[in-house]
Amino acid sequence: MSVNQQTIAEKLDLSVSTVSRALRNDRAIPATTRARVIRAASDLGYRRRPDGGSTSQRSAQAPSKTVIGVFAPVVGGLNWSAAGTHEAGHFMLTGISAATAARGVYMLFHGVRNDDLANLLLPDNPDSALRNESLAGAVLLYSHPHPVAERLFELMPCVTIVDRYSGLKMDCVGEDADSGIDAMVQHLCDLGHKRIGFVHGDSLGEWVVDRFACYVKSLTRRGIPVDPSIVLGVYGERVAIKQRADWLLDQTKRGATAWMCSNDLTGYEVCRALKAKGLSIPGDVSVTGFDGVEPVGGMPPLTTVSAPLVELGEEAVDRLLFRIANPTDSIRNIQLACRMTVGQTTAEVRVPA
């Protein structure tokens, strides 16, 4: 079925005019709406050309503005058009969209699925996502397979958000996880916690390794031994949700009084799992997260490290435009400040009666 702007408008319950203006990054359209439209266009297979038309409209006219690509993996059932305020990537893409509009830059969004990887890695393939698009550079959102990042890096200037790729001299815009997690560990210690575990969900990226390393450093600074028996998910192991729930209950009964989670989505999953096992949060055990996204499913807000998600997207665009104009400048690892936010999931350690 042919996908056009009317298709996108009907899916999102918007006018065709709003969709058209959002695809042109018109700043009169709210950044969150522009992000929704761009994601829906990608999910539906609509491909907008730099000249403002779709792939069915051919034009020999060169684009009058700089065009950058934004590449995001579609994994674990994540539907970018449905991603809401509980997804960190939603806010990052909103920042990217706002920055490109403000700088007069075209943005082309590519949701990369596993079955698209071969096409992406072979841009001469007629079906390649890169064919017929003159991209000046790319922003890598979320974690990509190393070969994908390497191929994009060979083709054009790239900036990655949060994740770094070994061996690739690529600018990275990330959050200052160290200070945020250190503040979280201090908060838990002030509440009397000494047995503090670390939990991650399924997908593994460099950002998970970084946050776990910050957890290890923060415990070590305070003379608290790092106990591998209360660490789950950071070594690439996959654990079914039911098994994870059983493991969390068992380790909590064995003395873990707080669980630090790699991100908020994992944190809310841990809360659900422990509540389903009959534990009270934070009465029986404390749980924390990282990102600062909206609560999931009406759950109470996590105590979390709030990252500047929108600003990460904006800074990535600015750094990419600088890199395009200054290809020989030194590579930068830019870190934006985080802050700890106390929610409703942490409390003082309960003293046994």
Q: What is the CA radius of gyration of the chain?
A: 22
Rounded to 5 degrees, φ, ψ at 54 are -95, 180
pLDDT at residue number 216: 97
pLDDT at residue number 131: 52
pLDDT at residue number 306: 94
Q: What architecture (CATH level 2) is domain 177-307?
A: 3-Layer(aba) Sandwich (3.40)
Beta strands at 303-306 and 339-341: parallel, antiparallel or unpaired: antiparallel
Q: Which of 188, 341, 348, 352 is nearest to 283 (CA)?
A: 348
Tell me the C-alpha distance between 181 and 191, whole Å.
15
> For 284, which DSSP code?
T
pLDDT at residue number 316: 96
pLDDT at residue number 188: 97
Q: Which of 220, 221, 213 is nearest to 231 (CA)?
A: 213
Q: Is residue 81 within 8 Å of 90, Cβ to Cβ?
A: no
Quickly list H helices, 222-262: 241-253
Q: Is residue 95 within 8 Å of 309, Cβ to Cβ?
A: yes
Characterize 157-191 residue by residue with b for buried, 16 or more Cβ atoms within 10 angstroms of its Cβ, and e for exposed: bbbbbbbbbeebebbbbbbbbbbbbbebbebbbeb
Quickly list H helices, 142-205: 146-155, 177-190
**Sequence-ordered list of residues with C-beta below 8 angstroms from that of 296, at least 6 positions apart, any chain:** 86, 264, 265, 268
With H, G, I as helix, E, B as strand and everything else as coil, classify residue 344. Answer: coil
pLDDT at residue number 27: 61
pLDDT at residue number 304: 96
> For 256, which DSSP code?
-
pLDDT at residue number 210: 92
pLDDT at residue number 128: 54
**pLDDT tens by residue, 261-306:** 999 999 999 999 999 999 999 999 999 999 998 887 788 999 999 9
**pLDDT tens by residue, 5-23:** 888 888 888 888 888 877 7
Characterize 96-115 residue by residue with b for buried, 16 or more Cβ atoms within 10 angstroms of its Cβ, and e for exposed: bbbbbbeeebbbbbbbbeee
Q: Which of 94, 74, 89 is nearest to 33 (CA)?
A: 94
pLDDT at residue number 230: 95
Chunked mean pLDDT (size 10), the chain, 353 residues: 78 85 71 77 60 39 71 65 66 90 87 65 54 79 86 90 91 95 97 95 81 96 94 79 88 95 92 93 96 86 94 95 91 94 94 58
Domain range summary for the chain, segments of one domain joined by +: 5-156, 177-307
pLDDT at residue number 321: 95
